Structure formats: C-alpha cells, structure tokens
Amino acid sequence: MKFRYAAALAFIIVGGLGLSGFGLSGCATTIPAPAATIITPTSTTAIASPPPPTKQVSKEQANAIKAAEDYLDGQHFSRKGLIGQLTYEGYPKATATAAVDSLTVDWDKQAALTAQDYLDTQTFSRKSLVAQLEFDGFTKEQAAYGVAHSGL
C-alpha cells in the first residue's frame, strides 16, 4: 500500500514538472501535466482503539458484590465495616475488599446517615458521636462530616 502511494506521488511530481527535467520541454509535442490527484485510503473504516477488557469475576466475587449492594440498600456502613460484614459471612478478605471497592459509594453520605440513625435512637455529644463513627470504621474525616451533616 505504501508503494502505491509512493508511485502515485512520484508520477504527480514528475508530471507536474512537465517532464522538463528530461530534456523534453522543447519537443513539438508537449505532454500536459496531469490534474492534481488526491490520494485517499481505500478503506473508510475509522481506526478505533480496542474496547477496554472486561474484567471477568468468579461466581463468588459476583456474590460478594451482590451481597455488598444488598447491605447498602438497607443499612449504612463504613468501607471497613462493610468489608468486615462480608468477611463475617465467610468471604475471603481479598474478595470482600475487591467487592466493596468495585462499588461507587459516597462514604461521607454513609457516615451522615449512620450518625442520623444513632441520633434517632440514642443521645450523643458531638465528640462521642465522632468517636462512635470512627469505631464503626469511618475515617476521622468521614466521621466529622457525618456528625456535621446529622443535625447535631
């Protein structure tokens, strides 16, 4: 394919010179230069990068993901707490961690909802509620966010 383009390009260049470089310009018969030719590839298929590989998960991994989603549908968890719940159910820690990390979860929102759940049933000071959320596995930042957005 490269050869075809090179040959066509050479023809255009030589033809564009009117063959004067070959001492033929003074001949009675002149050969007109060919019209400019636009060379385009014969294929109109766009070259696209291949799609990203889909990650195959085992049945156990799929079950762990489903279990994590089910827990989050009905309860509020920290990342650490949800991994702990899945390992309590018998999933290996690596499988539980991968399952939780495969989900898109707003952990700040989970902390706020957990804080609100606590305040609905118990009394807390700000400091003790932050400590409780940290005990539940939320980071310091998530616990502080949760308390600040719980109305306390």
User: What band does 38 get if pLDDT is binned at 50, 70 and 90?
Assistant: low
**129 Cα distance to chain centroid:** 36
> 31 and 82 share a domain?
no
User: What band does 32 get if pLDDT is binned at 50, 70 and 90?
Assistant: low
> 31 and 73 share a domain?
no
Determine, yes or no, domain membership for 80: yes
> 124 and 63 share a domain?
yes
Determine, yes or no, domain membership for 49: no
CB 73 within 8 A of CB 44: no
> 105 and 38 share a domain?
no
Burial-class residue 47 by CB neighbours within 10 Å (0-12, 13-18, 19+). Answer: exposed
Per DSSP, helices labelled H in the chain are 2-16, 59-74, 79-88, 93-101, 107-121, 126-135, 140-148
Sign of CA dihedral 135, 137, 139, 141: negative
> 75 and 113 share a domain?
yes
Determine, yes or no, domain membership for 54: no
> 73 and 36 share a domain?
no
Q: What is the pLDDT at residue 151?
A: 82
> 134 and 72 share a domain?
yes
Distances (CA, A) of 53 to 36, 50, 56, 85, 97: 45, 8, 9, 30, 21
> 64 and 126 share a domain?
yes
> 86 and 22 share a domain?
no
> 71 and 135 share a domain?
yes
Task: Write out pLDDT tens, residues 4-21.
Answer: 444 444 444 444 444 444
User: What band does 51 get if pLDDT is binned at 50, 70 and 90?
Assistant: low
Count of C-beta atoms within a 10 Å radius of residue 146: 30
Q: What is the pLDDT at residue 14?
A: 45
Domain count, the chain: 2
**CB-based contacts of 10: which residues, under 8 Å, 6+ apart?**
none
Distances (CA, A) of 19 to 3, 8, 37, 76: 22, 15, 17, 83
> 101 and 142 share a domain?
yes
Task: Write out pLDDT tens, residues 122-151.
Answer: 999 999 999 999 999 999 999 999 999 988
To the question of pTM greater than 0.75 for the whole model, the response is no
Sign of CA dihedral 41, 42, 44, 49: negative
CB 31 within 8 A of CB 19: yes
> 37 and 90 share a domain?
no
Structural domain that includes position 117: 59-148
Determine, yes or no, domain membership for 53: no
